[in-house]
Chain A
């Protein structure tokens, strides 16, 4: 390779790198600008937030949107309900699906294929299509109007089981077998070896589950009648999209809506950095080991 060619390539490379960076920056702007817009509006006063203007800085700075949404519209209660449901639900989900994933890597387990098909088939069922029968099940189990119904809804999913299974497949089987010979119990092997090796897989399904539970809408709309037990998304939905004709002494102006949106985002943004490191690794295996 002649030096001249190398230089030309280097030049070209720089142009490419530059254009590439510009492209990505523009793309990131499409993500950032709307959120800056939302943040700026949330911190504006009610009247200012209703005016037509490009608002990237709070106009007529005020936190009244937050106080209205939190205190007057009582968003703290659905918020707490969402926290309870999300944390407990995610915990059980991760525990059960990772156990199942572990079982499904056992090489000589009779009936394994049937179980896998049994699980795969559930992934084909659209949840929205079986709403009424699902309600019936919850009613018969006396779960209507309880947070338990929301914890139970989606407590196990085929997707997570298969993802965890792919994960554990990355652990050499010999490792666990040798441990078994040493007399270590099944759960010990699971808890000490697999879970530790598969940390990033756990982080992946934790994040997925946390997010989808936090955003869950159909189940709480259906199963909860008592307004003290509704979740954040239901409260947000009625605030953002629902036309309610009943009288209320609060003006839900744009700043209030945006404050509600911001409050709902915070926990997600808060957990993301903690799991991000493992998350990337987790997906890497999940996506490749099909």
Chain B
């Protein structure tokens, strides 16, 4: 009793947080779950139909296409989006001049500040076969034929992965740099005393010491795989839709385009489930709990 009284202030401070989450996260979640078991019409009776909606979703081939697209694009973003910024962070760390380092950091971070509406618009524009900068360079410098990046199936997923990596590169890079900066300098000193070259310092000091940061970043990025939506929504077109429509796009189409809220809700609970599964899996594989 005494401890509760002592802590009363703390509990009161938590009240708005808890209330907020109950109203704006848990209640909608429960509502959504309920919808997934209903024949959810726009108006009138909404009878419960058991697992029919889930059944409909698993027997829909385009759901599995969407899952595969999600894994492909999301996986690509996860892996490339992990390695590229790591390399850049290591490379930036070797730069001695601090003004150069700071400028680079800042510039690399800029795309992360912008919304997908803006970045997507810029990408479509830059990749356009006739007026786009990328194709202009390909044509004028390399004498190549223009590539219709946004409309060619074989490029579609790479373009999505590439633009997502490009956008978030600076952000992940700064996370890595922060991790590197936190490494105890005496470790480097000891390595130098032993005559380690710069590469050896990276290999035997930086990388092992960065392990925890890498795990955290990998795990955080894993959570994002199934949430890809804004990017695809802005950058897709009918010619590449079958290659890039991800799970969230599927739920959007079921719900808003086809007015079938029940299946849409069921599909989004698959998304929640997959996220949960993947998170647990990644934790197991990275042995996150041992950090």
Contact = CB atoms under 8 A, between A and B. Distances in A.
B67 interface: no
A67 interface: no
A106 B35 contact: no
B25 A125 contact: yes
B230 interface: yes
Interface stretch (A132-140, A191-199, A244-252): A132-140
Contact of A257 (B27, B28, B121, B261): B121
A109 B223 contact: no
A181 interface: no
Contacts of A3: none
Interface stretch (B43-51, B151-159, B173-181): B173-181
A38 B39 CA distance: 48
A123 interface: yes
Interface in B60-107: 88, 91-92, 94-96, 100, 103-107
B126 A233 contact: no
Contact of B216 (A102, A214, A237, A290): A290
B114 interface: yes
Interface residues of A, number: 84
A276 B121 CA distance: 27
Interface stretch (A9-17, A68-76, A171-179): A9-17
Contact of B95 (A20, A128, A161): A20
Interface residues of B, number: 92
A39 B31 CA distance: 46
B113 A155 contact: no
Contact of B21 (A16, A106, A119): A119
A132 B111 CA distance: 30
Interface in A15-68: 16-17, 20-21, 23-24, 27-28, 30-35, 37-38, 51-54
A217 B252 CA distance: 15
B106 A272 contact: yes
A148 B173 CA distance: 35
Contacts of B248: 126, 128-129
B179 A287 contact: yes
Given A9-B197, A96-B17, A132 B255 contact: yes
B122 interface: yes
A261 interface: yes
Given A20-B94, A31-B111, A126 B24 contact: no
Interface in A110-125: 110, 115, 118-119, 122-125
Contacts of A100: 13-14, 17
A133 B177 contact: no
> Binding site of B, secondary structure by majority: helix, strand, loop or mixed?
helix
B121 A28 contact: no
B110 A31 contact: yes
Interface string B153-186: 0000000000000100010001101110110000
Which of B26, B107, B117, B255 has the most CB atoms of chain A within a 10 A radius of its CB? B117
B213 interface: yes
A264 interface: yes
Nearest to A23: B91
A24 B92 contact: yes
Nearest to B103: A28
A143 to B, nearest CB: 11
A54 B133 contact: yes
Given A100-B17, A123-B223, A137 B24 contact: yes
25 contacts: A17-B95, A20-B91, A20-B94, A20-B95, A27-B104, A31-B108, A31-B110, A38-B122, A100-B13, A103-B14, A118-B18, A119-B17, A125-B29, A126-B268, A129-B272, A130-B28, A134-B28, A137-B24, A137-B27, A156-B20, A186-B9, A233-B115, A236-B115, A272-B109, A287-B217
Interface of A: 1, 9, 13, 16-17, 20-21, 23-24, 27-28, 30-35, 37-38, 51-54, 96-97, 99-100, 102-103, 106, 108-110, 115, 118-119, 122-126, 128-134, 136-137, 152-153, 155-156, 161, 186, 211, 214-215, 217, 233, 236-237, 240-241, 254, 257, 261, 264-265, 268-269, 272-273, 276, 279-281, 283-284, 286-288, 290
